[in-house]
Amino acid sequence: MARSRSVAGAAVVTALFGALLAPALSVPSPAAAAGLHLDHAGASPASTAPVAAAAGDSGGGGYWLAATDGAVFAFGDAPDEGSAAGDALRAPVVGMAPTPDDRGYWLAGADGGVFAFGDAGFAGSMGGRHLVRPVVAMAADDATGGYWLVAADGGVFAFGAPWFGSTGGVHLDAPVVGMAPTPDDRGYWLVAADGGVFAFGDAGFAGSMGGRPLVRPVVTMAADDATGGYWLVAADGGVFGFGAPWFGSTGGDVLGRAVVGAVPGAADGGYRLVGADGAVYAFGDATDLGSVTVAPLAGLTVVLDPGHDGGNGADPGFIDRPIDGGGFTESCDTVGTTTPGGYPEHAFTWAVALDARAALQALGATVALTRQSDTGVGPCVNQRAEVADVLGAAAAVSIHADGGPPGGTGFAIDEPAPVVSSISDNRAIVGPSAELGAALRAAFAAATGEPPSDYTGTAGIVVRRDLGGLDLSTVPKVLIECANMRNTHDAALTQSAAWQGLAGRGIAGGVAAYLEAALRT
């Protein structure tokens, strides 16, 4: 893990700082290190959303990749018949299936919505109807021209296609994640994340991984029409063939993001695995006809919390009121510090947050700020923590500058200690927050040249249990004191727009390095 983490950090930090860190890039890419064949003809369109599904044409000479935002990317013989990119989807796309003649396809959303393109007919959907669990995959019925949707509980919804049974209502040890029809479409298999296989109609049971240890969960399956068997595919690209030949896998390799799809090649003499990062891994006689370049942080939300606010000093009645910080009482917020000349911390944190936001957005992240201007009051620190929880953020950073002893310089990163209270339990985020802190320390130091604090913490890290903003967080979170505003040297830095930009990019680089490492499979 340490090696893959440093590779991830190098890729993103170098994107941000160019030649500054170029030597770090002398390591081979994970794909090259793994000896994978990525030598396709060249087409590599960009996507701002992660790839979520893949489908192959009937001849095996082409395939489509679909992203969560409804974008469709066609390769080889597979025709581009349109996409839902640019539409405001109610739920992410999770499944895709082609029509019998490959002149169209359907997309399925997690809410059961179905979108038809080309010669695909709309035969109904679960959109707008109550679902016990989200839809996770779909399959086409070539015999009828209809299709099936399958939900995480194994519920199967048939539209213009016969229903052969489901596991809806049956207790499952793990959620259903994939579906494949039999060669004559008179049955189908469902597969669960633990590798369990459920056969319906004329589908034969040829084996499963149920009850056997898996390094990573199964994420999809594909039928081998040549043999009547099937392949199960895990998030790390591990492939398990049952009544179907094994042509290879990426199991044991380090992938940029998890595998999400599998597409058989011509005559089922091979298969292609597709990653959420748009990578295509071809095995057997299946060929790599092109891949998608997914933005590094696509699909992830980051919360940036610029400390304090411009109006706090004028409203002590609001910011001094007590709140529960997670088993102890603290004030809603504070005014923050200033430089000896009077430049306020809230203005510094606001400027740095805007720079960090721009850098993270350039990497494809969705970024939310806990305040929308530098002239308001609050919000309270507990509300700042709640923003990241509500948005399901992948990481959060509170941005501050310290009011330390005048003789002290440097930056410090506050990380949460485990704290359990009547209103909170942050134990699950302590470890990930430490990883975030380590990545942030490295990237911030590289970007700004600022040393770790010489008056607090150990090598720039301070573990604390007295900050509600950390105790109440449900997502990986740290607080950075970028510099000591009471120190003459540091004070000059914090007032420099150029240094603010470096600080913002350093924070973004640390967050990105942490998230890319977390995405690796």
The residues that touch Zn ion, with contacts defined as CB under 5 A, are 307, 336, 400
Active-site annotation holder among 81, 330, 481, 516: 481
First to last CA, the chain: 10
**Exposed, middle or buried: residue 128 (CB in 10 Å: 0-12, 13-18, 19+)?**
exposed
CA separation for the pair 29, 35 (Å, rounded): 10
- Strand 72-76's sheet: what is its strand order? 51-56, 62-67, 72-76
Beta-bridge partner residues of 413? 461, 480
Is 64:74 a contact under the CB 8 Å cutoff? yes
**CB of 5 or CB of 400, closer to Zn ion:** 400
CA-CA-CA-CA torsion sign (128, 129, 135, 140)? negative
- Which one, of 228, 152, 159, 158, lies nearest residue 194 by Cα? 152
Judged by CB, which is closer to Zn ion: 284, or 344?
A: 344
Minimal distance, residue 407 CB to Zn ion, in Å = 20
CB of 280 to Zn ion, least distance (A): 47
Output 110 or 354, the one with its CB closest to Zn ion: 354
Least CB distance from residue 345 to Zn ion, whole Å? 5
- Give catalytic status of residue 345 as yes or no: no
* Degrees to nearest 5, angle at CA 482 with 11 and 346: 120
Nearest residue to Zn ion on Cβ basis:
400
Q: At closest approach, how far in Å is the CB of 418 from Zn ion?
A: 23
Closer to Zn ion by Cβ: residue 307 or 311: 307
Q: Are 395 and 436 in contact (CB under 8 A)?
A: yes
CB closer to Zn ion, 166 vs 338: 338
Cα dist from 110 to 113, 133, 468, whole Å: 7, 9, 35
Within its chain, how far is the Cα of 428 from the centroid? 18
Nearest approach in angstroms of CB 129 to Zn ion is 49
Instruction: Please give the positions annotated as active site.
Output: 481
